[in-house]
Amino acid sequence: MSEAGGAIAIILARGGSKGLPGKNTAGVAGKPCVLWTIEAAQRAGSVERVVVSSDDPSVLAIAQRFGCDVIERPADLAHDTATIDDAARHAYETVGSPDGPVVILYANVPVRPEGLIDDAVKMLLESGCDSVQSYARVGKHHPWWTVRVGDDGSVKPWEGEVLYHNCFRRQDLPAAMVPDGGVIALNPDALMCRVGAPEGPHCFLGNDRRGVITDEGDVVDIDSRIDLLVADGVLRGNKEGTTEHTEHTEAGSEKRDWSGRDADLTHAIIGCAMRVHRELGPGLLESVYELCLLDELERAGLRAHNQVPCDVSYHGRTIASGLRMDLVVEDRVILEIKAVEGLKRVHFAQLMSYLKLSGKQLGLLMNFNEHTMKAGIKRISL
């Protein structure tokens, strides 16, 4: 295998999706989702050639337009039980089985850190290993805290005899990672299952497997509508972050009324929340997140107010209830800020009540105590 890189990037973009149909061509921050991955591969210094494998004509048309080689994936490799390694092997053999590293990228991952592809290829070449995959920290969804709940409601450890391994603080948990879908780099012999790895669904990763670790929010894998909103918010936020912010004044002053779509407003808000969470992380008071998010929203040019009174109308009378909404953005979206171990029904009910009392249609429940902000955002509409 070449020592200089010279990798071929194979982008896999199956047309069908039960979770979010058409996700590979869905608009994300002004571009088709697959285009973000194409551009990431083309920017990577270690990649010589970019190939897109898909059964979706729209994806193939985008790939051709932006200078990629395209491979029409056969139907038997495009159903929801087909494996990614079979699809990657088909693409690799179709383009002539070139010597050099192979990089597998998913078209539904529009957010990945700059340099991730090159870092994975560099580790592959320097270590001589079979494969390198990107991993993210699991946070509070840790295997030590996994349990079995019986039909009678009884709780038992998933493994062993001691519940939660007697560990009750997140910071005391040993580091645990999960694949995040950002990148897989591997040598051709591993991909073609020629290195003697044990048979199984991950045989193509070989025997000597290495990993690069990404930070929270670095990689967003789109499998649902909320993933799409988060990715859009992150990427729009990244573009906004390249410009210098001017000093801002009181919330709402010198701001124009929002005239765009609710979806675009929601995307902008989520981008602001992601930036706050990336900067502060979990574990702080709700009031801290509220004020920092207020600041971030203002810097993004959005009219936002915090601790907005929410009166109750009862038998035709307006009653000062003492209720206050954490944040209201553009007089259209209510944000309920939490920093809790997990969202409960009462939190959803609270936001729903604010929507009904205020006459607004859209709210976002945001739990900043999650390891990833993506996991802490819930959208509610009337």
Range of the domain at 124: 7-137+177-214
More confident residue, 240 or 380: 380
pLDDT at 31: 87
DSSP 13-55: E-S--SSSTTTTTSEETTEEHHHHHHHHHHH-TTEEEEEEEES
Specify if 1 maps to a domain: no
296 and 361 in a single domain? The answer is yes
For position 55, which CATH number holds? 3.90.550.10
Specify if 2 maps to a domain: no
293 and 307 in a single domain? The answer is yes
Q: For the chain, what is the mean pLDDT?
A: 87
Tens digits of residue pLDDT in 174-205: 989 999 999 999 999 999 999 999 999 999 99
Do the beta carbons of residue 348 and residue 381 sit within 8 Å? no
Tens digits of residue pLDDT in 119-164: 999 999 999 999 999 999 887 788 999 999 999 999 999 988 899 9
Specify if 310 maps to a domain: yes
Q: How many domains does the chain have?
A: 3
- CA 30-233-276 angle, to 5 degrees, is 150
pLDDT at 2: 45
268 HSE (CA, 13 A, CB side): 21
Specify if 158 maps to a domain: yes
Per DSSP, 89 falls in state H
Specify if 107 maps to a domain: yes
245 and 347 in a single domain? The answer is yes
In percent, the amount of the chain with pLDDT more than 70 equals 91
167 and 121 in a single domain? The answer is no
Per DSSP, 194 falls in state -
Query: For residue 78, what pLDDT band results from cuts at 50, 70 and 90?
Result: confident
Q: In what order do the strands lie in the sheet with 333-338?
A: 304-309, 324-329, 333-338, 362-367, 377-381
51 and 35 in a single domain? The answer is yes
Six-digit token string for 143: 């295997």
Q: 259-290 burial, b if ≥16 CB within 10 A, otherwise e?
A: eeeeeebbbbbbbbbbbbbbeeebeeebeebb
Do the beta carbons of residue 325 and residue 334 sit within 8 Å? yes
Six-digit token string for 229: 């909103």
In this structure, of 20-34, 85-99, 102-116, 230-244, the range with the lowest mean pLDDT score is 230-244
Q: Three-state SS for 355? A: helix
45 and 183 in a single domain? The answer is yes
CB atoms within 10 A of CB 73: 25
316 and 374 in a single domain? The answer is yes
Mean pLDDT throughout 225-233? 84
258 and 374 in a single domain? The answer is yes
Query: For residue 224, what pLDDT band results from cuts at 50, 70 and 90?
Result: confident
71 and 167 in a single domain? The answer is no
- Is the confidence at residue 305, as pLDDT, over 50? yes
Specify if 219 maps to a domain: no
56 and 111 in a single domain? The answer is yes
Closest to 298 in 3D by CA, of 327, 260, 259, 325: 327
Mean pLDDT throughout 227-240? 77
